[in-house]
Structure 1
């Protein structure tokens, strides 16, 4: 079991928008799933992220802010 797991959370609608903007390949069987499937997957991760080893990060932040958050968490882990 890892010491820490990062969950970068974004709403399903935002994930769909990002996927459409960067689509450079044919969609696989999971990518063509209905929105309900992705809502269930996200809810599963939200449930798992309640565990103390999970760090839920707001994926709507800038890449730099997400990066800094992860670095801070790793530095705190190293101090233990």
Structure 2
């Protein structure tokens, strides 16, 4: 597989899209009271404090790599 600027940019966009979708789903579940308790709280905390930041960082690195190395 050949990695192109478009491929890297799409991968970054896909990460951002997946993050947005999962954030929306978890918010909807909590707002409706469907998902409560310790497991829900732990997931939400870890999602917000760890995973989301790492997804954004990875997307940013993919974008930066696309710009810097594939001009």
Judge same fold: TM > 0.5, yes or no. Answer: no
**Higher fraction of helix:** 2
- Normalising by structure 1, we get a TM-score of 0.36
Larger radius of gyration: 2
**Higher fraction of strand:** 1
- Normalising by structure 2, we get a TM-score of 0.39
